[in-house]
């Protein structure tokens, strides 16, 4: 019998896989460990999150009961979830005003100061080095109604009327936690802005000096406009980090009182591990992912476009 | 981040005052916590002065005994060191493969990694927990370590790729002509040149693992496996009314971070800035 002209399909495939291996042995070996970790701890859970989001699993039942898109239609009409999403927007604004704004102010002032830069920078950055949990516990004590530094200082200043139960009052809790989070963040943004200021052409400042420009003119006309690109990076970072907000809230209020300081990540957590509505929590988590990914994508496209003209 | 700019002008006093005020806002919470750690509970309630009238050490004893801070510290070191070593060991070769080798379909694979940078870990926390539970690694430091390495892969590879891409090809070419193998080029020539990048990733991984909170609350439920952040939060829940001991516990939790920061602050600041702006 004559030998077949073409090898069987399966054989051909192993041949080409073999060739792929031969040609790319080095990169494949270099990449495999990272790919293995990535698949096992990110991509597989992601696939399973999608699967679970289509079920009403409670974390215990042996079989998965599929309910189609019911979890998605539930959360997108659920005022608790939608309010938690809105709180993330408030959280982002606070993060931008206190964290980014404070960081920008600090960076500009530090770049203007002749002496003591090192000390200011080192102290302001330190809170960022701590765990969100540690900062949450510290601020929980600062806000303590009777022994906290904030209320005792107000009382000593004769302003006891302004003392509040900062974390226990539903109308204040989110903002109180947001201030703590902003306090931790401004040193981080300061460092990024300082790197941006460093890359500004010194000749611009030289020219300003020759013209006898004041410090304010120098800041307003040179430093701030030159930080345009840094600013776009920082605002993206701030958005992503605000959408993921969890640690500070969890360490201070666990989303309470009631739902008053519940962000989406806290909603996911409570729904999954306290209520046991795993499917719904998975749907909420994936919705959050979709928002963050869509925003990052749009923002990057926009930045590339703007970047071409500046 | 050495000399910012040589400015020869007088510093505006208003600038100096504003800076001092902001720095004080950063500093005062720490001073208040540490001072209170040395006060007894009556003084914490009654006294108006920041510094203790009498310095007590009882709080530290109570915190150390109740809180097992020695155990927490050891666990945190294990988690941070193991996460850092494994992360760098797997991200550096992968970053090199993307930057300096000709792999077919590399760009498609790279997009898959980029996707992982944008994906918030919060969105996969539920299945990730059950997966680690299925592996029998809940209440085991390795469950946390492996999860941290896995979720850190996309950013680590991305960061290492940008560092390797900036290295010149000439040295590798010269070595190739001299008959060096691909492995020799990677280990003996490229890795040493990439040291600043490796350090930046190491600082980033170490710090995130040291401070990790989100996964730890789920995975480290038992007192012997807790790390410092989880241990401190747990300690507060159990010692709500012993204020002095809580302030001492916070101080104990801060001290290791403060010491590491004092020694490595330059690396911390430049490493984190590189991580943020390259990422």
Instruction: Give the tens place of pLDDT for each residue, A110-151.
Output: 988 877 888 899 999 999 999 999 999 999 999 999 889 999
Whether residue A60 lies inside any domain: the answer is no
Start-end of H helices in chain B: 13-37, 41-46, 58-67, 69-100, 106-118, 125-134, 141-165, 170-177, 182-184, 191-193, 195-211, 216-219, 228-238, 243-278
Under 8 Å between Cβ of B247 and A141: yes
Q: Pick A42's closest partner by Cβ from B11, B150, B182.
A: B150
Q: Domain count of chain A?
A: 2
Is residue B135 located within the same domain as residue B263? yes
Is residue B138 located within the same domain as residue B202? yes
pLDDT of residue A6: 54
Q: If pLDDT is split at 50, 70 and 90, which confidence band does B87 have? A: very high
Whether residue A141 lies inside any domain: the answer is yes
Res B165 pLDDT > 70? yes
Is residue A301 located within the same domain as residue A177? yes
Q: Which residues contact A195 (CB under 8 A, 6 or more apart)?
A: A230, B1, B273, B277
CATH code at A198? 1.10.3720.10
What is the span of the domain harbouring residue B88? 69-278
Is residue A233 located within the same domain as residue A291? yes
Q: How far apart are the first and last CA of chain B?
A: 19
Nearest to B80 by CA among B133, B141, B131: B141
Res B99 pLDDT > 80? yes
Q: How far apart are CA A156 and CA A99, in angstroms?
A: 29
Q: Which B residues, 137 through 196, put their C-beta within 8 Å of a C-beta on chain A?
A: 146-147, 149-151, 153-154, 156-157, 182-183, 186
Whether residue B4 lies inside any domain: the answer is no
Is residue A133 located within the same domain as residue A18? no
Is residue B89 located within the same domain as residue B119? yes
Is residue B73 located within the same domain as residue B52? no
Residues of A in contact with B266 (CB under 8 A): none
Q: What is the mean pLDDT of residues B37-63?
A: 82
| Percentage of residues of chain A with pLDDT beyond 90 | 55
CATH code at B138? 1.10.3720.10
Structural tokens at position B155: 């950013």
Whether residue B63 lies inside any domain: the answer is no
Is residue B94 located within the same domain as residue B156? yes
pLDDT of residue B27: 94
Q: Convert the pLDDT of each residue in B204-240 to its tens digit.
A: 899 999 999 999 999 998 888 999 999 999 999 888 7
pLDDT of residue B148: 96
Res A2 pLDDT > 60? no
CB contact under 8 A, B183 and A26: yes
pLDDT of residue B277: 65
Name which residue leads in pLDDT, B87 or A239: B87
Whether residue A65 lies inside any domain: the answer is no
Is residue B38 located within the same domain as residue B100? no
Cα–Cα distances (Å) from A42 to A48, A88, B155, in that order, read: 10, 24, 12
Is residue B85 located within the same domain as residue B205? yes
Residue located via tokens 């310095």 = B55
Res A41 pLDDT > 70? yes
CB contact under 8 A, B213 and A250: yes
Is residue B80 located within the same domain as residue B29? no
Name which residue leads in pLDDT, A248 or A296: A248
Residue located via tokens 């003392």 = A163
Rg (alpha carbons) of chain B, rounded to whole number: 24
Is residue A284 located within the same domain as residue A145? yes
pLDDT of residue B273: 72
As a whole number, the mean pLDDT across chain B is: 87
pLDDT of residue B7: 47
Q: Which B residues, 42 through 61, put their C-beta within 8 Å of a C-beta on chain A?
A: 44-45, 48
Q: How far apart are CA A272 and CA A284, in angstroms?
A: 10
Dihedral pair phi/psi, residue B195, rounded to 5°: -50, -45
Cα-Cα-Cα-Cα dihedral sign, residues B134, B140, B146, B151: positive
Whether residue B1 lies inside any domain: the answer is no
Q: Domain count of chain B?
A: 2
Q: Pick A40's closest partner by Cβ from B7, B101, B150.
A: B150
Nearest to A174 by CA among A275, A310, A266: A266
Whether residue B116 lies inside any domain: the answer is yes
What is the span of the domain harbouring residue A273? 71-309
Whether residue B135 lies inside any domain: the answer is yes
Whether residue B61 lies inside any domain: the answer is no
Q: If pLDDT is split at 50, 70 and 90, which confidence band does B154 have? A: very high
pLDDT of residue B30: 95
pLDDT of residue A68: 87
Is residue A37 located within the same domain as residue A113? no
Whether residue B3 lies inside any domain: the answer is no
pLDDT of residue A221: 87
Q: What is the mean pLDDT of residues A267-271?
A: 94
pLDDT of residue A13: 56
Is residue A36 located within the same domain as residue A94? no
């Amino acid at each position: 019998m004559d030998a077949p002209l073409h090898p069987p399909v399966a054989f051909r495939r192993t041949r080409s896989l073999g060739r792929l291996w031969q040609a790319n042995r080095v990169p494949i070996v270099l990449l495999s460990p990272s790919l293995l970790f990535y698949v096992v701890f990110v991509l597989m859970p992601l696939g399973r999150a999608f699967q679970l989001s289509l079920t009403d699993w409670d974390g215990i039942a042996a079989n998965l009961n599929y309910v189609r898109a019911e979890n998605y239609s539930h959360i997108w009409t659920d005022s608790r979830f939608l309010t938690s999403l809105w709180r993330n927007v408030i959280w982002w604004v606070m993060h931008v005003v206190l964290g980014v704004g404070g960081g920008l102010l600090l960076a500009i002032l530090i770049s203007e100061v002749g002496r003591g830069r090192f000390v200011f920078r080192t102290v302001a950055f330190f809170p960022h080095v701590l765990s969100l949990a540690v900062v949450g516990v510290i601020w929980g004590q600062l806000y303590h109604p009777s022994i906290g530094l904030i209320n005792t200082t107000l009382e000593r200043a004769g302003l006891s009327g302004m003392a509040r139960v900062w974390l226990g009052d539903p109308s204040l809790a989110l903002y109180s936690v947001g201030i703590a989070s902003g306090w931790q963040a401004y040193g981080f943004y300061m460092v990024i802005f300082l790197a941006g200021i460093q890359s500004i052409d010194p000749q611009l400042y030289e020219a300003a000096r020759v013209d006898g420009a004041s410090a304010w003119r120098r800041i307003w006309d040179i430093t701030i406009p030159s930080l345009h690109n840094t600013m776009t990076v920082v605002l993206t970072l701030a958005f992503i980090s605000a959408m993921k907000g969890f640690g500070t809230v969890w360490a201070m209020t666990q989303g309470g009182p009631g739902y008053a300081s519940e962000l989406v990540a806290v909603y996911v957590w409570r729904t999954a591990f306290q209520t046991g509505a795993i499917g719904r929590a998975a749907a909420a988590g994936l919705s959050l992912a979709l928002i963050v990914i869509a925003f990052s994508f749009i923002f990057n496209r926009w930045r590339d476009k703007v970047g071409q003209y500046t | 981040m050495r000399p910012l700019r040589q400015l020869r002008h007088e510093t505006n006093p208003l600038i100096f005052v504003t800076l001092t005020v902001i720095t004080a806002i950063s500093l005062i919470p720490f001073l208040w916590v540490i001072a209170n750690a040395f006060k007894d509970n009556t003084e914490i309630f009654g006294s108006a002065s920041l510094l203790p009238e009498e310095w007590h050490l009882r709080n530290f004893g109570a915190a150390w005994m109740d809180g097992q801070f020695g155990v927490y510290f050891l666990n945190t070191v294990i988690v941070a060191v193991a996460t850092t070593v494994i992360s760098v060991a797997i991200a550096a070769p992968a970053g090199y493969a993307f930057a300096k080798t000709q792999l077919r379909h590399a760009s498609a694979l790279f997009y898959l990694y980029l996707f992982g940078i944008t994906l918030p870990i919060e969105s996969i926390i539920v299945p990730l927990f059950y997966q680690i539970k299925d592996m029998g690694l809940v209440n085991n430091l390795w469950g946390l370590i492996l999860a941290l390495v896995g979720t850190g892969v996309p950013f680590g590879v991305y960061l290492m790729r940008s560092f390797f891409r900036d290295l010149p090809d000439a040295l590798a070419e010269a070595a190739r002509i001299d008959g060096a193998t691909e492995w020799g080029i990677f280990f003996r020539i490229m890795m040493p040149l990439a040291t600043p990048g490796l350090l930046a990733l190491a600082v980033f991984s170490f710090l995130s693992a040291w401070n990790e909170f989100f996964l730890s609350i789920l995975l480290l439920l038992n007192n012997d496996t807790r790390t410092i952040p989880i241990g401190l939060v747990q300690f507060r829940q159990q010692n709500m009314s012993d204020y002095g001991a809580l302030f001492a516990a916070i101080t104990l939790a801060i001290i290791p971070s403060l010491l590491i920061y004092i020694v490595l602050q330059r690396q911390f600041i430049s490493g984190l800035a590189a991580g943020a702006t390259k990422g």
